[in-house]
Structure 1
Amino acid sequence: MAQRADISVTWERWQATPDGQTARLFHLTNRRGTRLTVSDWGATLTSFKLAMPNDNLRQLVLGCDTLEDYLQSPYLGATVGRYANRIRGAKFSVDGQQYKLIANEGENCLHGGEIGFAHQLWDAEIIESIPAVRFTLHSPDGDEGFPGNAIVTVTYTLSEDNNIRIDYEATVDKACPFNLTNHSYFNLDGVAGDVGNHVAQINANQYLPVDSESLPDGSPVSVEQTAFDFRTAKAFNQDWRKIVSDQRYRGFDHCFILDQNDGSQPVAQVRSGDEQVVLSLYTTSPAVQLYTGQYLEGTRGHNELVYQNRDGFCLETQYMPDQPNSDCAEECIVRPERPFKHSTTFAFHC
């Protein structure tokens, strides 16, 4: 089928991976001039330049110019898995069998382990009939300690009305927890600068309290009369000083349990500080992790910028952290007869 005229897809060779292969960049551009760039290294979203009414392009995501900088970055734009977020003690049990994972954050497993999906080269293909870019990865049995062979696909689509849609799928031959997400850091004011004045609304009546290791501290609780109540729109910085004692790292890194997640209605909205751009989030995932980038300091970014803490925020659609060790573990278990399948859309308006 011929490629649609309103979206073009091109690619270029980029840089060498640690094992000597060549990573590529794929550029999707719509008729308005908005440009999405993704890489087969980590199935990573590296750049998103939104066409503004004044015909300028505004860079809305934090990213790096070199693969070496991505290797040192805090998962900028990457696809993380097998299990995004944290698993306590780097272990879990499925069907009576305990599995020990690679611990890469103290005694815990973060974002899939030491060499998770974010640090691998994926197979890539351009799907001209959509058009889109689809990345595929084979994760072998025992990968970072996770059981079973898994085939994972992540498909990026840019629409004519400036929506980024990400479709996740995974099939397994043995039961295993799965939690795929995208770890893009957004700054709707453009490139960098404190995002505290961004105004957010999250349709969540509950959030998950965490301990000093950012692991669940009990079950989800009501956001009522807490700093985590985003049911009415407010600036990120309105309450973020209330939730941490060390003000150098003030900000959010918490999981919100979504009120609805059939993908038909936005579950969150964020407006830029200059009120020129609005991001609306749609997802079929049951929760979203709001992270306001309080550990970004020193990360080398686009055009030799050095990012500072709170220069970007993440909306990571996912299951809950450490859910494989909870009473609702089965919800995140993928089985041969029940594959992983979720979608997330970041819709932009200006």
Structure 2
Amino acid sequence: MPQRADIAVTWEKWQLTPDGQAARLFHLTNRRGTQLTVSDWGATLTSLKLAMPDGKLRQMVLGCDTLNDYQQSPYLGATVGRYANRIRNAEFTIDGQSYSVVANEGNHCLHGGPEGFSHQLWQAKVLEQQPAVQFTLHSPDGDQGFPGNATVVVTFTLSEDDRVQIDYSATVDKPCPINLTNHSYFNLDGVAGDVGSHVVQLNADRYLPVDQASLPVGAPISVTNTPFDFRHAKALNQDWRKVVDDQRYRGFDHCFILSNSGDQPAAQVRSGDEQVAMTLYTSSPALQLYTGHYLEGTRGHNELVYQNRDGFCLETQFMPDQPNSDEAEACIVRPDGVFKHSTTFAFHC
């Protein structure tokens, strides 16, 4: 089918994966000139350059120039799974059957394990009718310890009005917890340093308290009269020193329970220089606000070396360690069901 004229999609060979396969980069460009680049390595969003009113392009996300740097990075732009966020003690039980998955953060499992979806080569297909790029991964039974064969599909679409939509679906042949998200680090100032001056509003009345290992300590509680109250827009750095005692790691890495209804935004962000706004819509029940306090030393685009808090993440997802909670069933996909969620980042300048 002929490709639509309003969005151009091209691809190029990039670099070799650890097992010698060729990874590729896919570029989507709209008529305004906004450019989205994604890779089949980790179904990763590697670059998003927004067309500004002055005709220049502004980079919206942190990223790397080499595949090796991505392997060493803290999940920059990657699709993470099977279970995004943390699973306590790398174990869970479904229908009385206990499972042990691979631990990669102390005794716990983070973002699906050391060789999770972010560290695998996906099958890629350009959907010319939309147009979009679709990535598919077949994860075998026992992959990182997770039960059942899983088929996962992630589709990236760039619209003519500067919306990046990410659609997720997954099916399994054994009951398994599934939690997929994109781990992009945003800096709406154009990767220009500390994101503390970004102004954020979250449609969330509750957040999940966590311990020093970022694991839940009880059920979600009200954000009222806490540093976690983003119901009214405020700068990220207004309260982030109040979150932890160790100021080297000041900032947020917490799950917020969304109060979405219909097309209501889950989050709204304004750049520190007030030139760019981003609105997030999602069908997911929660999002993780993370202000990048483990970025220091990461090699980025154009030989940059990122520092802590150079980017922030809004990871739409289920709650951390939900497979071990009273709400476990909500994140368990069964053979007769499907994991299906969509997240859209809309940009305005």
Query: Please, what TM-score do these two structures have when normalized by structure 2?
Result: 0.99
Superposed CA deviations along residues 206-225 of structure 1, whole A, max 9, x for unmatched, are: 00000010000110000000
Dislocated runs of 4+, deviation >4 Å: none
Letter of the structure 2 residue corresponding to residue 260 of structure 1: N
- Aligned partner of 2:221 in structure 1 is 221
Report how far residue 241 of structure 1 moved.
0.2
Report how far residue 265 of structure 1 moved.
1.9
Q: Distance in 2 between matches of 1:273 and 1:216?
A: 31
Q: How do residues 1-350 of structure 1 correspond to structure 2 at under 5 angstroms?
A: 1-260=1-260, 262=262, 264-350=263-349
Q: Distance in 2 between matches of 1:152 and 1:243?
A: 36
Query: Please, what TM-score do these two structures have when normalized by structure 1?
Result: 0.99
Instruction: From the superposition, tell whether residues 317 and 89 of structure 1 become closer, same or farther in structure 2 (CA, over 3 Å).
Output: same
Q: Secondary structure, in 3 states, of the residue corresponding to 2:204?
A: coil
Instruction: Confirm or deny: 8 A CA contact 1:192 1:312 kept in the other structure.
Output: no
Q: Distance in 2 between matches of 1:261 and 1:303?
A: 41
Letter of the structure 1 residue corresponding to residue 27 of structure 2: H
Task: Work out the percentage of aligned pairs sharing the same amino acid.
Answer: 77
In the alignment, structure 2 segments of 5+ residues that lack a partner are: none
Report how far residue 261 of structure 1 moved.
5.5
Instruction: Number of aligned residue pairs: give it.
Output: 349
Letter of the structure 2 residue corresponding to residue 11 of structure 1: W
Q: Distance in 2 between matches of 1:96 and 1:161?
A: 49
Q: Distance in 1 between matches of 2:320 and 2:110?
A: 9
Instruction: Confirm or deny: 8 A CA contact 1:293 1:311 kept in the other structure.
Output: yes
Q: Distance in 2 between matches of 1:40 and 1:192?
A: 27
Superposed CA deviations along residues 141-190 of structure 1, whole A, max 9, x for unmatched, are: 00001000000000000000000000000010010000000000000000
Superposed CA deviations along residues 27-68 of structure 1, whole A, max 9, x for unmatched, are: 000000000000000000000000000000000100000001
Q: Distance in 2 between matches of 1:24 and 1:213?
A: 35
Q: Distance in 1 between matches of 2:209 and 2:100?
A: 25
Q: Distance in 2 between matches of 1:296 and 1:241?
A: 17
Letter of the structure 1 residue corresponding to residue 209 of structure 2: P
Q: Secondary structure, in 3 states, of the residue corresponding to 1:50?
A: strand
Q: Distance in 2 between matches of 1:2 and 1:120?
A: 31
In the alignment, structure 1 segments of 5+ residues that lack a partner are: none
Q: Distance in 1 between matches of 2:185 and 2:225?
A: 28
Letter of the structure 1 residue corresponding to residue 319 of structure 2: M
Letter of the structure 2 residue corresponding to residue 284 of structure 1: S
Instruction: Confirm or deny: 8 A CA contact 1:261 1:285 kept in the other structure.
Output: no
Q: Secondary structure, in 3 states, of the residue corresponding to 2:190?
A: coil
Calculate the aligned-residue CA RMSD, in Å. Answer: 0.6
Q: Distance in 2 between matches of 1:244 and 1:226?
A: 13
Report how far residue 192 of structure 1 moved.
3.4
Q: Distance in 1 between matches of 2:8 and 2:264?
A: 28
Instruction: Confirm or deny: 8 A CA contact 1:200 1:235 kept in the other structure.
Output: yes
Report how far residue 196 of structure 1 moved.
0.1
Report how far residue 93 of structure 1 moved.
0.5
